[in-house]
Amino acid sequence: MIRQKIVAGNWKMNGSKESIVSLVSGLLKMKDSNSEVVIAPSFPYLSQVCDLVDASSLVLAAQNISHEVKGAYTGEVSASMLGDFGVKYVLLGHSERRSIYGETDAIVASKVKTALEFRLTPMLCIGETLEERQSNQTLAVCERQLQAVIALVGIESFEKMVVAYEPVWAIGTGLSASAEQAQEVHESIRAFLAKSSESVSQKVQILYGGSVKASTSSALFQMPDVDGALVGGASLDAEEFIAIIKAAG
Ligand code: PEP
């Protein structure tokens, strides 16, 4: 099964009107790639970036949504609003949302359900902490996080989703998992999904995230179950991000 690679940049809570113009214009100089290239700005800049990427192949993602559809939820952003800005993907279950903002497996699953209802493609982030890895809980944690979503929306919905394996110990630490470590977990994630549906497991794109840099990305992309990358820090530098996109082929 040939799965198109995705290289997604998560800008987190970074950027200004000015810096975003220069970052996006840097990215627009890149030649078309065989991979799908996605960028996830903070909410206030979605409209600006939507205009800047218009008519290019760059694809927009949001970093979060409310699990509620609309109404009295001060400070929240709904899935339907994102449709107005040409957003295709939404990051859900990012470890920073889980650990800093207390998003449980159940909350993440309900956000996935809402995203799907509004035709957004969830990029479902899963992954273990260092402590969990050291106590051999890596797969148990990933399976628990996946199972909460399967139980709510069903395995068939994974055809309309992307999974991002992001070991928490590798996010923003400079400590990337090796290509072999990533492959081992990606293969197990696919095998776990295959228990519910072999065909879905073959189709779903599984991205690796955690301190991906241009220098480490080619080895990662050669792994058979690594279908791309979710990139944080390195996606804020157009040259570095383009080098990662080139490595994806
Ligand atoms: C992320 O935010 O999803 C991420 C992987 O960050 P970084 O690349 O900075 O580790």
Name residues whose C-beta falls within 8 Å of residue 97's C-beta, 6 or more positions apart in sequence. Answer: 64, 103, 108
Q: For residue range 127-161, list pLDDT tens digits in order.
A: 999 999 999 999 999 999 999 999 999 999 999 99
Determine if the pTM surpasses 0.95: yes
Q: For residue range 12-71, list pLDDT tens digits in order.
A: 999 999 999 999 999 999 988 999 999 999 999 999 999 999 989 999 999 999 999 999
Ligand 1 atom with least separation from CA of 209: 5
Q: Which of 93, 28, 33 is nearest to 63 (CA)?
A: 93
Pocket test for ligand 1, best of 10, 96, 165 (most atoms within 8 A of CB): 10
Q: For residue range 98-136, list pLDDT tens digits in order.
A: 999 999 999 999 999 999 999 999 999 999 999 999 999
Structure-derived torsion over alpha carbons of residues 184, 173, 248, 197, reported in degrees to the nearest 10: 40
User: Ligand 1 in contact with 7 (CB < 6 A)?
Assistant: no
User: To 10 degrees, what angle do helices 179-196 and 138-153 make?
Assistant: 40
Q: Is 94 a catalytic residue?
A: yes
Going through 43-86 in order, the beta strands assigned E by DSSP cover 59-62
Residue whose Cα lies nearest atom 6 of ligand 1: it is 232
Confidence of residue 1 (pLDDT cuts 50, 70, 90): confident
Centroid of ligand 1 to alpha carbon of 209 (angstroms): 6
Distance CA 75, CA 58 (A): 28
User: Ligand 1 in contact with 233 (CB < 6 A)?
Assistant: yes
CA angle 105/109/114 to nearest 5° reads 150
Q: Where are the alpha helices (DSSP H) in 84-137?
A: 95-100, 105-117, 130-134
**What number of helices (H) and strands (E) belong to the chain?**
11, 8
The pLDDT score that the predictor gives to residue 175 is: 87
Name residues whose C-beta falls within 8 Å of residue 70's C-beta, 6 or more positions apart in sequence. Answer: 78, 80
User: Ligand 1 in contact with 124 (CB < 6 A)?
Assistant: no
Centroid of ligand 1 to alpha carbon of 234 (angstroms): 8
The pLDDT score that the predictor gives to residue 183 is: 98
